[in-house]
Amino acid sequence: MSVTFNDFQGQYAAIRGPIDTAVQRVLSSGWYLLGQELKDFEAKLGARLGGAHVVGVANGTEAIALALMALGIGPGAEVIAPALTAYPTITGIKMSGATPVVADVDPATGLLDLASVEAQITPRTRAIVPVHLYGQSCDLAPLLALAASEDIAVVEDCAQAIDATYQGQPVGTHGVIGCFSFYPTKNLGAYGDAGAVVTRDAALAERLRRHRNYGQSDRYRHELPGINSRLDELQAAILAVKLDYLSEWTTRRRAIAAQYRAGLRGVGLLEEKAYGQHVYHLFPVRVAARDGFMAHLTAAGIQTLIHYPLPIAAQPDFAGQKDERFPGAETLAKEVVSLPLRPDMTDEQVTAVIAAVNSWAGV
């Protein structure tokens, strides 16, 4: 039995008919950027997000940069992000010209720790970027209250959490802007790069549409600073097809996670919070002797990955906070290892993963 972490070809084979139809339609249309396919995808995702305005962009990193740009946050400003996240959260903040500052995460979940965020706020803090890591929402209510009291914007990094909810409402619609990535491995993945920014504020959505297209309002009229960050028609058409399967995929992810939670022995599980729906983009477990554990699973044909091996402050590109300790992030970086969890895993594969983990623990 072999269980790979991703199976892109298998997923394509399962939905090949409607995908090929969509691709052929776009190629034959002769229109490849900022057309009807993008409008349709933005409307379809917006409806799913409770009527929010969706602006398709080129990737999740630029979604974060554009969100900050649209809020007027740039050089001289500080933006707080978690000390454990995918590095592109930080890359996006740096692209805006703002200075990223990290706050620790709760080692029970990997999500931002409120007290640590509070401790990092300075007069220059203009935004907080909570990351809904591994597919689970941060505890947003106290964070939004803190941010509002300090007049700080909340920009949600939802790259790993499409379809996750917090108190019944989709992530990405709680803060002023939500940022999504459709990188191929994400729960809704394009066949290339793609992303989106989401907001309930129509005027802000309009600004975001200009920023993503060289700041252009009318043709050849550039009123705002901008970049080139468009979600192309091919990827938009592909994503619109895949969006029809997302609920089914999320349900399957959650079912596999429930089997893991019930069946795994000898490893630490992260907490699943009752305040929202976790969409299990990843299923990390905590193991002190991680190298041996990973070697054991590799020998059993099961591929694992680490999300993430280095806390942000230890990354060479991250210049600041070298002398500060982030115990939550440091512990997780040492101990986490992600088991394969994808909606197209067979029951036999799920059983094989559980058996391999439990045989390492000797139970």
Ligand X SMILES: *Cc1c(COP(=O)(O)O)cnc(C)c1O
Residues in contact with ligand X by CB under 6 A are: 59-61, 85-86, 88-89, 131, 157, 159-160, 181, 183, 193, 195
How near is the Cβ of 26 to ligand X at its closest, in Å? 20
How near is the Cβ of 64 to ligand X at its closest, in Å? 7
Helix (H) or strand (E) holding 283: strand 283-286
Q: Measured from the CB atom, is 11 or 349 closer to ligand X?
A: 11
Q: In what order do the strands lie in the sheet with 125-128?
A: 53-57, 195-199, 177-181, 153-157, 125-128, 78-82, 99-103
Q: Which residue is nearest to ligand X (CB)?
A: 60
Q: Measured from the CB atom, is 88 or 175 closer to ligand X?
A: 88
Q: Measured from the CB atom, is 61 or 321 closer to ligand X?
A: 61
How near is the Cβ of 161 to ligand X at its closest, in Å? 8
Nearest Cα residue to 236 out of 70, 49, 4, 46: 46
Whole-angstrom distance, CA of residue 135 vs CA of residue 278: 6
Render 55-82 in DSSP notation, one character per residue: EEES-HHHHHHHHHHHTT--TT-EEEEE
Cβ neighbors of 276 (< 8 A, separation 6 or more) are 136, 137, 164, 165, 166, 167, 168, 171
Whole-angstrom distance, CA of residue 226 vs CA of residue 208: 9
Q: Measured from the CB atom, is 69 or 356 closer to ligand X?
A: 69
How near is the Cβ of 352 to ligand X at its closest, in Å? 27
How near is the Cβ of 353 to ligand X at its closest, in Å? 22
How near is the Cβ of 93 to ligand X at its closest, in Å? 10
Query: Is 311:167 a contact under the CB 8 Å cutoff?
Result: no
How near is the Cβ of 131 to ligand X at its closest, in Å? 5
Q: Measured from the CB atom, is 293 or 318 closer to ligand X?
A: 318
Q: Measured from the CB atom, is 11 or 160 closer to ligand X?
A: 160
Question: Cα 3 to chain center, whole Å?
Answer: 23
C-alpha separations of 127 from 75, 82, 123, 213, 313 in Å: 13, 12, 11, 24, 19
Q: Measured from the CB atom, is 45 or 264 closer to ligand X?
A: 45
Query: Is 311:84 a contact under the CB 8 Å cutoff?
Result: yes
Cis peptide bond upstream of 308, omega within 30:
yes
How near is the Cβ of 283 to ligand X at its closest, in Å? 15
Neighbours of 259 (CB within 10 A): 16
Whole-angstrom distance, CA of residue 71 vs CA of residue 86: 23
DSSP state of 272: P
How near is the Cβ of 296 to ligand X at its closest, in Å? 27
DSSP state of 305: B
DSSP state of 186: S
How near is the Cβ of 181 to ligand X at its closest, in Å? 3
Q: Measured from the CB atom, is 127 or 356 closer to ligand X?
A: 127
Q: Measured from the CB atom, is 176 or 264 closer to ligand X?
A: 176
Whole-angstrom distance, CA of residue 176 vs CA of residue 192: 27
Q: Measured from the CB atom, is 92 or 340 closer to ligand X?
A: 92
